[in-house]
A and B are shown apart, each in its own frame.
Chain A
Amino acid sequence: MNPSTHLQKTSQKSSEDDIDMSSTSRHVAVGKPEAKIVSLDALEQLAIAKGEVAARSLPSELDALGLEGKDCPCAPR
């Protein structure tokens, strides 16, 4: 099955439907320009660079400092 077709079909299922992760997680669409990447592993394998946003930018960090949602973030005064 074409991975992209598979993805479309699974995405049309209701929220009660089951997804067989083993069938969707290992399709790597190398050499098939029309095919979609369907797993994180596949995306990762094709990446020329990867990373994560530093924790200092994450909201939980700001929440801990009492800075998120406690002020008009931008009012010039």
Chain B
Amino acid sequence: MRSEVKHCRVYVDGVDDIVVAYLPEINKVYVLDSSRRDQIPDSIAVDESQIVWEERPPSDETKPIDLVLLLTSACNLACQYCYSDAGEASHIMNASTASRAVAFVANTAKQIGKKGISILFHGEGEPTANWPVLTETVDFAKEYTASLGLSVRFSIATNGIYGDDKRGYLSQRLHNITLSLDGPRYINDAQRPRRGRSSSFNTAFESAQYFYSHRSRLNFGIRSTLLPQHIETLPEIVRFIGLHFPSSQLSVEPVEFVGRYSKHNRHSFEGFAFAYRRARREAKRHNLRFWYSAVRGPRKSDFFCGVAGRSMVVGPTGLISGCSRVSRESHTGARNFIYGKFELGRSAPSIDPTAKNRLETYSGTNMLDCQNCIAYTWCRGDCRHIRYMANGNVLNGVSPRCREIRTIVLGELMDSAHLSMADKYLQSYYTNEATLPVDSSLTERSSLVQLRRTP
């Protein structure tokens, strides 16, 4: 009988007198005295049965199986940080573009042997502002995927500024609803006013209550955007959501300095990692699933998102992008992320192979400063657009969020190992940025290689 043995990668980082060894493929964390550091190898042989690492075929990263439709740039809110200046100019997707995009993704999924596709209605503006196309697309996608023997799951990122008719439709027809609500009224209304600057809180909150009450048949989550001046308020925001929507889901993201918020001074997110840790504890009290995009947990992928083509983002005018933040020629980074277009009168999209190939190079394997980092399998190099905005390119350097990400991940690992004094170690790590030098021999991720056999 032959059993399979894998060499499991060991990531290492530490501070002061301790070192953390992390083996994501088998989901193990060890804390050692720092004097042991030189004894820790780059990989350890383990039985294949111990591997908890999820396999994903390479085609899953480059072939479109998740469709993101940006139905309109129109919006009934005037959020002070909107990444796409929604509402300033009105671009509206027509039903033909949406249905051609659905057919293209469904046909691709069928060709590569997938069982289904997902469709997300997202920005640029508020998807429900293009209601006729949204509902037509749902009907078409259900019919078309059924004809191919595929399943389809619908998701929406929405502001909730509408009444019970739309709430009812969305809760009955869609599978995942993410509603934007930035916390208590005083924060939400300062950040997310209506276009006339009046309060949006009551309507958004009522929508949240509606979807929350229907969560037995849909995945409902709240998304809050955090401004620099509210870092210390993060636990309060979590408490507010937890009290009103216990046992639900909350994702929090620090604002990015793009779109409408690019006009603001660049404040630091200094201390976000520690506010996040306090907020995590608060979330636990309310049984909230709580996360931040860059620390969603380890995954066997070298991509942060579907940028290499898995997520096909189609903008209101039919432009195809790897990134939902870059859907117009005027957006910063258009040359790096837009790779095609659905032209009028043509069923298949025109794809620029050079631009598509460039997106496929945005892999963490091409980010030399990230590969040996203990946080790599969690952030996988972080958002490519954030890297581009900070560094002027995607692959060189590290994310501007790197320090916060590393501190959060190291903290999660210390917590997993029940290390007392974790906060003290993290404060030292954060203050001094005191990473131990990474072993230069750790040049390859063993998760991708070295499957061996033994008698």
Interface residues of A (CB under 8 A from B): 4, 7, 11, 13, 15-21, 24-25, 29, 32-40, 43-44, 46-54, 56-62, 65-77
CB of B294 closer than 8 Å to a CB of A: yes
Query: What are 28 pairs between A and B in contact, CB < 8 Å?
Result: A11-B43, A15-B450, A33-B38, A36-B39, A37-B39, A43-B10, A48-B18, A49-B417, A50-B417, A52-B28, A57-B295, A59-B54, A59-B296, A66-B175, A66-B219, A69-B310, A70-B155, A71-B120, A71-B178, A73-B293, A73-B304, A73-B305, A75-B83, A75-B123, A75-B324, A75-B325, A77-B84, A77-B225
Given A50-B30, A58-B52, A73-B304: 15 more A-B contacts, CB < 8 Å: A11-B43, A11-B450, A15-B452, A29-B39, A43-B30, A49-B417, A49-B418, A61-B297, A66-B175, A67-B219, A70-B120, A72-B325, A74-B293, A75-B83, A76-B82
Contacts of B26 in A (CB 8 A): 40
Name B1-43 residues within 8 Å CB distance of A: 5, 7, 10, 18, 21, 23-24, 26-33, 35-36, 38-41, 43
CA separation between A36 and B256, bound complex, in Å?
43
> Nearest Cβ distance between residue B359 and chain A, in whole angstroms?
14
Question: Which residue of chain B has the shortest Cβ distance to A34 in the bound complex?
Answer: B38
CB of B323 closer than 8 Å to a CB of A: yes
Name B274-314 residues within 8 Å CB distance of A: 289, 291, 293-299, 304-306, 310-311, 313
> Nearest Cβ distance between residue B360 and chain A, in whole angstroms?
16
Contacts of B221 in A (CB 8 A): 67
- Contact check, B29 vs A50: say whether CB atoms are below 8 A apart: yes
Contacts of A62 in B (CB 8 A): 296-297
Name B33-76 residues within 8 Å CB distance of A: 33, 35-36, 38-41, 43-46, 50, 52, 54, 66, 68
CB of B211 closer than 8 Å to a CB of A: no
Contacts of B455 in A (CB 8 A): 18
Interface contact tally, CB-CB below 8 A:
201
- Contact check, A77 vs B79: say whether CB atoms are below 8 A apart: yes
> Nearest Cβ distance between residue B77 and chain A, in whole angstroms?
10
- Contact check, B416 vs A52: say whether CB atoms are below 8 A apart: yes
CB of B232 closer than 8 Å to a CB of A: no
Contacts of A61 in B (CB 8 A): 297
CA separation between A44 and B324, bound complex, in Å?
44
- Contact check, A43 vs B44: say whether CB atoms are below 8 A apart: yes
CB of B394 closer than 8 Å to a CB of A: no
- Contact check, B454 vs A19: say whether CB atoms are below 8 A apart: yes
Contacts of B86 in A (CB 8 A): 77
- Contact check, A47 vs B45: say whether CB atoms are below 8 A apart: no
Question: Which residue of chain A has the shortest Cβ distance to B310 in the bound complex?
Answer: A69
- Contact check, B27 vs A52: say whether CB atoms are below 8 A apart: yes
Pick from B52, B295, B306: contact of A69, CB under 8 Å:
B306
> Nearest Cβ distance between residue A48 and chain B, in whole angstroms?
6
CB of B92 closer than 8 Å to a CB of A: no
CA separation between A15 and B454, bound complex, in Å?
11
- Contact check, A67 vs B176: say whether CB atoms are below 8 A apart: yes
Pick from A7, A20, A36, A65: contact of B289, CB under 8 Å:
A65
Contacts of B253 in A (CB 8 A): 74, 76
Known contacts A37-B40, A43-B21, A70-B155; decide if A53 and B298 are in contact (CB<8 Å): yes
Most buried by A among B38, B39, B66, B299: B39
Contacts of B45 in A (CB 8 A): 19, 21, 24-25, 38-39
CB of B210 closer than 8 Å to a CB of A: no
CB of B255 closer than 8 Å to a CB of A: yes
> Nearest Cβ distance between residue B78 and chain A, in whole angstroms?
12
CA separation between A25 and B176, bound complex, in Å?
46
Contacts of B324 in A (CB 8 A): 72, 75
Name B403-455 residues within 8 Å CB distance of A: 412-413, 416-419, 450-455
CA separation between A29 and B36, bound complex, in Å?
10
Contacts of B38 in A (CB 8 A): 33-34
Contacts of A7 in B (CB 8 A): 41
CA separation between A52 and B311, bound complex, in Å?
31
Known contacts A33-B39, A46-B36, A56-B289; decide if A18 and B454 are in contact (CB<8 Å): yes
CB of B261 closer than 8 Å to a CB of A: yes
Contacts of A32 in B (CB 8 A): 39
Pick from A19, A21, A35, A77: contact of B82, CB under 8 Å:
A77
Question: Which residue of chain A has the shortest Cβ distance to B306 in the bound complex?
Answer: A69
Contacts of A54 in B (CB 8 A): 416
> Nearest Cβ distance between residue B357 and chain A, in whole angstroms?
21
